[in-house]
Amino acid sequence: MTSFATGRMLLTPADRDGPARAERLRRLDLGERPDASFDSFDAFADKVAEVTASPFSMVNFIDENRQFFAGLHTPAGNRGGKDIGAVAAGGNRYMARDHGYCPHVVVRRKALVLDDVCDYPRFAGNPVVDDIGVRSYLGAPLIDRTGIALGTVCAVDTVPRPWGRAGLDTIKSLAQELVRQIDHREGYRHP
């Protein structure tokens, strides 16, 4: 658990795989600096938003200390990240590790469906609820061929959403599709 500047306690899970994930992200050249491939991650985030009919979607890589939005879709089309409270530094879009729900997905290594985040005390107090207006979340882990959860693909809305089983199946399928692209980037071919 960590304490946020406002004094509320955040229940961000302990991340024992953080160092291995950070090393794997470095080997894949993901999360350190933007490059031409991040355009493809933005395009993938656009696809997630379209498929889920969500105003916000992200491709998110998580190291030990922060989240990096390699792919970002916002209603205003702002790729800088201000719409989601991300800090832009050197062309990168970062957010603290204890903001949002993606760190939970990575640590759990399972998809997370929150029809209304306010129904869950553990998640209702997250800064993204007040700062961005997040009310619903749908995310799945990006588990690569080595078994490391690199990050997430997620859809977010500012109103409660009954994602249902169809939403869960959709986000998991999108995550698998993106993992195949990441593996292909590394030169690995799926059988």
Encode pLDDT of 8-32 as tens digits: 444 667 788 889 999 999 888 886 5
> CATH number for the domain including 6?
3.30.450.40
Q: Of the ranges 17-21, 36-40, 97-101, which is most confident?
A: 17-21
pLDDT at 34 > cutoff 80: no
Residue 131: what pLDDT? 73
Please report where in the chains the tokens 């916002």 appear, as a residue. 74
pLDDT at 97 > cutoff 90: no
Structural domains of the chain, count: 1
Residue 124 located in a structural domain: yes
**Closest alpha carbon to 64 in 135, 120, 112, 14:** 14
| Residue 84: partners with Cβ closer than 8 Å, 6 or more residues away | 56, 58, 69, 72, 74, 95, 128, 132
Residue 34 located in a structural domain: yes
Is this prediction's pTM over 0.75? yes
User: Rounded to whole angstroms, how far apart are CA atoms 96 and 98?
Assistant: 5
Domain that holds residue 80: 2-186
| Residue 142: partners with Cβ closer than 8 Å, 6 or more residues away | 59, 61, 149, 150, 151, 152, 153, 175, 178, 179, 182
Eight-class DSSP state of 113 = E
C-alpha triplet 78, 80, 84: angle, nearest 5°: 80
- Quick: pLDDT tens for 111-146: 999 999 999 888 877 777 777 788 899 999 999 999
Residue 191 located in a structural domain: no
User: Rounded to whole angstroms, how far apart are CA atoms 100 and 98?
Assistant: 7
Residue 148 located in a structural domain: yes
